[in-house]
């Protein structure tokens, strides 16, 4: 963990809270290099292509005739990763995976509504939140936000990016939603991206992820880092975890991300027994100052950060399992097994 990253994340979050700006995480010269290399990368990285599959609807049909409870309402917000860009079947999208998993753990149906937009930057979150809260009779029980990659590639000042995300989380919490944010992924894992862009992209995206964590916790949400979770696995298995465009995750990549987010999603709703996964010092878990916890999470994907008390945060690595197949029935069985000790 880098203490300098913790200090930088704290400065960015403070600037976001007080309306600061600036060019962001890189100097003018470095940012110019980043943009130049990005133009070269775009020649070999596929475009957005066709629209992501529409996965909205009800999941957990096996529980429809259970206790007669209303379905949980799960909403996804953010960019192309939240939308499920890069796969062809609705059931392969992160929204469908999370809805199926949540239904199995809760043993009740889950209604999925996805308002994410491919190519979205954090300033689009205001519009997405409005779509979800304008109907007071259908406020989501829990929202998952995945955002930040396009802020990095378009040079949005980090403080502005964090402020926009924090505002969105705060609005959702005030409306009564639980919020889980998958922080900015590690853009240094994109296969066609070369040095020095790869190093710069990794540095900037991890710094943004750390700052996002601080802002989200202050706004009342929880975070799960996606960066390093996908980094080593993407580097080792790029053909499996990247989609056909070499940029967005494949079905297996989205399943990996969904398995990291699901336990935190369930914990936010009180469905994941907290006493079964107490902090383990051997796994580098515990209570840390918020900025240090944010920096540590940015270094290791799949790390959950929640508020402990005051300026302290709880760092956890929740257990996850790999999905055996991409069918809804199989998802139910797999997610159900995750609940077993």
Structure tokens at 301: 């994907």
Phi-psi domain of 108 (left: phi exceeds 0; alpha: psi -120 through 50; beta: other): beta
Helix extents (H) in 272-314: 290-299
Helix extents (H) in the chain: 3-17, 28-44, 80-83, 94-106, 125-133, 149-153, 158-174, 197-218, 227-236, 238-241, 251-268, 290-299, 328-338
Distance between CA atoms of residues 104 and 90, nearest Å? 18
312-316, strands of its sheet edge to edge:
57-59, 110-114, 72-78, 142-146, 178-182, 222-224, 304-309, 312-316, 286-289
What's the Cα-to-Cα distance from 254 to each of 132, 140, 332, rounded to whole Å?
23, 22, 17
What CATH code is carried by the domain that includes residue 180? 3.40.50.1110
Instruction: Please check whether residue 150 is in contact with residue 189, taking contact to mean a CB–CB distance below 8 angstroms.
Output: no
Structure tokens at 5: 């990253």
Instruction: Please check whether residue 122 is in contact with residue 165, taking contact to mean a CB–CB distance below 8 angstroms.
Output: yes
pTM across the whole model: 0.83
- pLDDT by residue for the chain (341 residues), tens only, comes to 456 767 777 777 777 776 655 445 445 455 555 555 554 444 444 444 578 889 999 998 777 665 567 899 999 999 988 998 878 889 989 999 999 999 988 889 999 999 999 889 999 999 999 999 998 888 999 999 999 988 887 888 999 999 999 999 999 999 999 999 999 988 766 655 556 666 677 788 889 999 999 999 999 999 999 875 554 444 554 444 344 444 566 777 788 889 899 999 999 999 876 655 566 666 678 898 898 888 888 888 788 999 988 889 998 887 665 443 443 433 333 334 344 33
Range of the domain at 257: 3-338
Instruction: Please check whether residue 278 is in contact with residue 314, taking contact to mean a CB–CB distance below 8 angstroms.
Output: no
Q: Enumerate residues 6+ apart whose C-beta is below 8 A from 276.
A: 341
Taking Cα atoms as reference points, which of 290, 336, 247, 285 lies closest to residue 60? 336
Return the pLDDT at 192: 54
Distance between CA atoms of residues 161 and 270, nearest Å? 29
3-state secondary structure of 190: coil
Q: What's the structural domain count of the chain?
A: 1
Q: Enumerate residues 6+ apart whose C-beta is below 8 A from 69.
A: 108
Q: Looking at the annotation, which residues are catalytic?
A: 80, 245, 248
Return the pLDDT at 274: 61
């Amino acid at each position: 963990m880098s203490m300098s990253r913790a200090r930088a994340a704290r400065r960015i979050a403070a600037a976001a809270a007080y309306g600061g700006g600036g060019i962001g995480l890189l100097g003018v010269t470095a940012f110019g290099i980043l943009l130049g290399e990005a133009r070269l990368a775009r020649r070999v990285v596929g475009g957005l292509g066709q629209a992501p599959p529409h996965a909205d609807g009800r999941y957990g049909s096996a529980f429809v005739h259970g206790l007669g409870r209303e379905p949980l309402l799960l909403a996804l917000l953010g960019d192309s990763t939240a939308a499920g860009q890069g796969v062809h079947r609705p059931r392969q999208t992160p929204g469908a995976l999370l809805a199926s998993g949540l239904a199995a753990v809760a043993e009740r149906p889950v209604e999925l509504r996805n308002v994410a937009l491919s190519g979205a930057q954090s300033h689009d979150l205001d519009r997405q939140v409005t779509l979800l809260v304008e109907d007071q009779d259908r406020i989501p029980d829990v929202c998952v936000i995945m955002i930040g990659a396009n802020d990095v590639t378009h040079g949005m000042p980090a403080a502005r990016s964090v402020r926009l995300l924090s505002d969105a989380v705060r609005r959702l919490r005030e409306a009564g939603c639980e919020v889980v944010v998958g922080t900015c992924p590690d853009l240094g894992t994109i296969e066609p991206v070369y040095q020095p862009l790869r190093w710069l992209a990794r540095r900037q995206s991890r710094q943004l992820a750390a700052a996002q964590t601080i802002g989200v916790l202050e706004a009342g949400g929880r975070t799960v880092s996606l960066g390093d979770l996908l980094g080593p696995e993407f580097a080792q298995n790029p053909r499996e975890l990247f989609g056909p465009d070499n940029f967005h995750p494949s079905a297996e990549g989205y399943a990996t991300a969904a398995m990291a987010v699901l336990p935190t999603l369930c914990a936010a709703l009180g469905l994941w027994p907290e006493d079964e996964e107490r902090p383990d010092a051997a796994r580098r878990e515990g209570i840390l100052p918020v900025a240090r916890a944010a920096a540590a999470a940015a270094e290791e994907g799949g790390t959950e950060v929640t508020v402990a008390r005051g300026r302290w945060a709880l760092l956890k690595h929740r257990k996850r399992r790999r999905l055996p197949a991409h069918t809804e029935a199989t998802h139910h069985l797999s997610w159900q097994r995750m609940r077993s000790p």
